[in-house]
Amino acid sequence: MNAPRPDRRALSGAARVYAVQALFQMEAANQSATLVAREFQNWRIGVDYEEGTTPDADEALFTSILNGVVDRQARIDQMTDRALVAKWPIARIDPVLRALFRAAGAELVAGTTPPRVVISEYVGVADAFFPEGRETRFVNAVLDHMAREAHPEAF
């Protein structure tokens, strides 16, 4: 009997959530991407615990997002700053939102995922972190601006 095929969308979604968590941890604990990625791959992604199993993830996407942020953080942060109002540069926003904008920015800059998909996926990630909804509308607006800058031809 064949094992069920993993749901690619679920694996990608989990990779994005883990990437936001990892980027938050890198900033909060001042840890390197290599150290945090190893911790997530060994202790968080698809790991069995007494309480249950953490979700599997597309580890290649997870790694790609982290590396993309590390390699292009200045460009991503500048795109984010241009999408934010002048009085709220990226350094002043919530650290979870900052991690989310950086992860989404890495995917937008890489250009391997259609911009509208990136926006939709990260609005979903924002909803997971901020279920009250106010932040999700903000994330949608900022990512739309970033996507239009990165890929004007797609709009």
- DSSP 8-state symbol, 2: P
47 within 8 A of 76, measured Cβ to Cβ: no
- Whole-angstrom distance, CA of residue 61 vs CA of residue 54: 17
Can you give the pLDDT at residue 89? 76
Which structural domains are found in the chain, ordered by start? 8-150 (1.10.940.10)
pLDDT band at residue 5 under the 50/70/90 scheme: low
pLDDT digits (tens, 9 = 90+) for 107-154: 999 999 999 999 999 999 999 999 888 889 999 999 999 999 999 998
Can you give the pLDDT at residue 134? 86
- Whole-angstrom distance, CA of residue 154 vs CA of residue 16: 22
- Whole-angstrom distance, CA of residue 40 vs CA of residue 55: 12
User: Residue 101: which residues within 8 A CB-CB, separation 6 or more?
Assistant: 76, 80, 90, 93, 139, 142, 143, 146
pLDDT digits (tens, 9 = 90+) for 57-104: 999 999 999 999 999 999 999 999 999 976 677 888 999 999 999 999
- DSSP 8-state symbol, 155: -
Find the farthest-apart pair of alpha carbons in the chain and give their distance in angstroms, rounded. Answer: 59
